[in-house]
Amino acid sequence: METLLNDFSPGLFAMQIVILLILLFLMKKFAWKPILNSLEERETGIEEALEAAENARKEMQNLTADNERLAKEARAERDAMMKDARDIRDKMISEAKEDAKEVTTKLIENAQASIQQEKQAALAELKKNVAELSIGIAESVIKKELSSKEDQLALVEGILKEVELN
């Protein structure tokens, strides 16, 4: 301990303190501050770049996912539209068919009805003509009753011919 104390040089101690103080000041100003600042700057730069790359990657992923989703949606929409079109077409066809059927049945019905009507009218006419004819014949027969039998026959025959002409 005594030799330690004896070896302790106050002058060297003072020199060391002064030089170290100056060195500390100079190093801080001209070396450590710029070095540490640029190191930090570089590190934050690297960190930011990594982050940006990660973000870009994520965005890219999102984009592709979006694209896929959009394509899927478009496809689904197209499918739906096509299905709708097919449905509409089918419906239109079936409707048209039904309409046509209805129209035809109606037409047929109408035709039948008119045929029936015509038939009725024709029958009525016929009946009327027959009646008139019968009455005419009867009239003539009655008119010629008193003449000869041949006359009567000839008359009937004549009338019948007339009828045929009608």
Partner 1 sequence: MKIAKKSIKFLTIALVALFSATIFASDLDKKQDNHKDGGEVNTQEEVTAYIQHHLKDSHDFTFFSYTSSEGERKHFGFSLPVILWSSEGLVTFMSSEFHHNDDGHVIVEKNGLKFAKIHSKIYELDNGAATVSFDETHHATNAHKTLDFSITKSVVGILFAAFLMLLWFSKLAKQYKTRKVPKGFGRVLEPLVIYVRDEIARPNIGEKKYKKFMGFLLTVFFFIWILNLLGLTPLGFNVTGQIAVTVALAMFTMVIYLFSGSKDFWAHTLWMPGVPVILRPILAIIELAGFILIKPFSLLVRLFANITAGHFVVMSLIALMVTMKEAFGPVASTGMSLALALFIMVIEILVAFLQAFIFTMLSSLFIGMAVEEHEHH
Catalog residues that contact partner 1 under the rule CB under 8 A: 4, 7-17, 19-20, 22-24, 26-28, 30-36, 38-39, 42, 45
Residue with Cβ nearer partner 1 (12 or 111): 12
36 vs 34: CA distance, rounded Å: 6
CB of 34 to partner 1, least distance (A): 4
CB atoms within 10 A of CB 163: 13
Residue with Cβ nearer partner 1 (12 or 141): 12
Angle (CA) 102 105 111, round 5°: 140
CB of 57 to partner 1, least distance (A): 23
Residue with Cβ nearer partner 1 (4 or 165): 4
Written as six digits, the tokens of 123 are: 């029958």
CB of 50 to partner 1, least distance (A): 15
Q: Helix 33-143 and helix 149-165: axis angle, to 10°?
A: 160
